[in-house]
Chain A
Amino acid sequence: MIAELRNVSKVFADPRSGRGLVALNDVSLSIEEGEFLCLVGSSGCGKSTTLNLMAGFEAPSRGQMLFRGEEVSGPSPERGVVFQEPSLFPWMSVLQNVMFSLQDGGARKAVREERAMEQLRLVGLDSFAHARPNDLSGGMKQRVAIARTLAMEPEMLLMDEPFGSLDEQTRRKLDNEALSLWQRERKTVVFVTHNIDEALTLGTRVVLMSPSPGRIEREWHIDEAWPRDLSSPRMVSLRQEVVGMLQACPCANGAPRPSLLTLEED
């Protein structure tokens, strides 16, 4: 086990009513070393909140967020994040963006540059090292973002719908790249998506969350080898099961509305 949410609840102040908005209610989840965990669920069910807790960007309102047995107190290079929204600094070149994430920690500039170039080579973008992010396509930007996060050599990779805004074809291609990257490095990956097919193609485990308030509904271990054939009888029935669960959830059809209730802080 590398990370663990232990009875975690997260309450945000609802900007309109000023009351508590329960984004996560009593969530417990263990993340095993080396697994490829996919978090799925309709929008607003707390997937990003869960990831932000693991990253240390947010602190639990209740319960504990543990990484290697210790409570997470803030963001750290050991837990690298790939964001859905554009996150490259437009005022830096691609290479500078990747180098930005490398700790200065004594390493000379030339050494850091070499390491950054190596990461860009791994995502096939070394020839764009001196381009500006805005000159790249959406898929290339996300590849650079992945390279930047990997350059920090994180122990756990947290990806929040990293390919959610890309077209279907590019998404599939990057899914495969992410998969081969994981197969090569065997880093622990937590991958958020609202696309069930994407989760079934990639994950060694799929965790379904449901909203109002955000909680874990069910999980499936998938020991199928890659590349996976989603039209195989086993995957088809698995897919039906997940989709069925998702639709059984009371909020799946309407707009997800998180419950408004107040949790006392303790």
Chain B
Amino acid sequence: MARDLGNVLIGVAVIVAAWWLTAEAMIHLRGAAFPTPPEAFVALWEALLGAELNNATVYAHTQSSLSRWGAGYLIALAFGLVAGMAFGTAPRLHDAGMVAVYILQMVPGLAWIPIAMLIFGLGEAATVFIIAMTAIPPIVINTAGGIREVPTVFTRVAQMSGREDSSVFLHVLLPAASLSIINGMRIGLANGWRVLIAAEMVVGVALGLGFSIYQSRYSLDFTAAFVAIMVICVIGLTIEKLLFVKMENKVRNRLGIDREDDT
């Protein structure tokens, strides 16, 4: 645990150092108003104390981003898990349908903007749609793949003991595939979070961390953009490392596969 913390500190230090060097270089070479880490951290501190960025507190921005992301992700989970389980258990469906999923996965986040706007117009629904569309493919792919890779011998054990298909699915396929399924859920979550900035270009309401970053192009308040970037990174990392790593370790442990030594 102490080692992990050390690694996190090193990682942060590397990023901050690179950022600082870039900022100083740009200030001197181009005269650009590139926020330095101390300026940005001060602004972050002030924002956390309640100063407004782009006409709202950082809490209001964060809250609206989180709720859009949550909505998009829940939709992605519902679609992705159901589709993944269907593809995973029906080989014919898998062969016919997976190419479409891989194509969807290739569509870059920004490319969903015109599509979202054509379907939903400007507004909340378009944002949620974009988040969902980028989160769905990895969930489908990993769920289906995980189920398909369950060793035949496991299903045979269940079949010979007289289990119904539904019982084989519930008691054998799902647990055996759970690590892969969780992995897909994690990639989907990260995809959705990363696409927030793009997705919030089409929000109707002037709120959101991504919107804040985008808005700095017009307001020229680049320090505010850096505050938003930092908040996005911290939230993304926290959810990924704390929530998912914990969940994965727990599942690993339950599955009885290479138990973590340090838990």
Contact = CB atoms under 8 A, between A and B. Distances in A.
A71 interface: no
Interface string A60-84: 0000000000000011110111010
B156 A90 contact: no
Contacts of A92: 256
B153 A103 contact: no
A83 B256 contact: no
Given A132-B256, A133-B256, A134-B257, A89 B159 contact: no
Contacts of B157: 81, 83, 87, 89, 100-101, 148
Interface residues of B, number: 18
B151 interface: yes
B161 A152 contact: yes
A55 interface: yes
A221 B175 CA distance: 45
A90 B151 CA distance: 12
A85 interface: yes
B257 A90 contact: yes
Contacts of A77: 160-162
Nearest to B161: A101
B154 interface: yes
A85 B254 contact: no
A57 interface: yes
Interface in A101-150: 101-103, 132-134, 148
Interface string B137-168: 00000000000000101101111111000000
A83 B257 contact: no
A129 to B, nearest CB: 15
Interface residues of A, number: 27
A80 B160 contact: yes
Interface string B241-263: 00000000000001111000000
A89 B175 contact: yes
A83 B172 contact: no
B153 A83 contact: yes
A75 B160 contact: yes
A134 B256 contact: yes
Given A91-B175, A152-B161, A85 B257 contact: no
Interface in A183-231: none
Nearest to B160: A75
A103 B161 contact: yes
Interface of B: 151, 153-154, 156-162, 171-172, 175-176, 254-257
11 contacts: A76-B160, A81-B157, A81-B160, A85-B153, A89-B157, A89-B172, A90-B256, A90-B257, A91-B254, A100-B171, A152-B160
Interface of A: 55-57, 74-77, 79-81, 83, 85-87, 89-92, 100-103, 132-134, 148, 152
Given A75-B156, A90-B255, A148-B157, 10 more contacts: A74-B159, A76-B160, A77-B162, A80-B160, A87-B156, A89-B176, A91-B255, A100-B171, A134-B256, A152-B161
Instruction: Identify the 9 closest CB pairs spanning chains A and B, nearest first.
Output: A90-B256, A101-B161, A75-B160, A132-B256, A75-B159, A91-B255, A87-B153, A77-B162, A91-B175
